[in-house]
Amino acid sequence: MKAKSQELNIEQVKELIPKLKELLIAKNPKSKILIQELEEAGLKGNEFDEMKTKLSKYDFKNALTIAEEIDKDLNNKL
């Protein structure tokens, strides 16, 4: 069963990304919860998938780098 493709909730994503970056800097495992919230807000793509993979391996440093790239990309689109 395939989930419906969801539109990106840009406001929610813009709210969650800074929180995610803080958790990644603190190497806090709760960042995985924020990843789920970002997915529910419609965030997806190669960078996002790569960040999830890094986080699943507790590679907070590289996950943070990718989160910053996603944040930059979002700000450039607005």
The residue among 37, 3, 1 whose CA lies nearest residue 17 is 37
User: The whole model's pTM is what?
Assistant: 0.85
Domain that holds residue 29: 10-77
60 within some domain: yes
Per the domain annotation, does 5 fall within a domain?
Answer: no
- How far is residue 11's CA from residue 55's CA, in Å, rounded to a whole number? 23
Segment 13-72, tens digit of pLDDT = 999 999 999 999 999 999 999 999 999 999 999 999 999 999 999 999 999 999 999 999
How many structural domains compose the chain?
1
Structural domain includes residue 1: no
Q: What is the predicted pLDDT for the residue at 2?
A: 41
Torsion angle, alpha carbons of 71, 22, 27, 17, to 10: -30
Q: Using 50, 70 and 90 to split pLDDT, how confident is the model at 3?
A: very low
In a domain, 3, yes or no: no
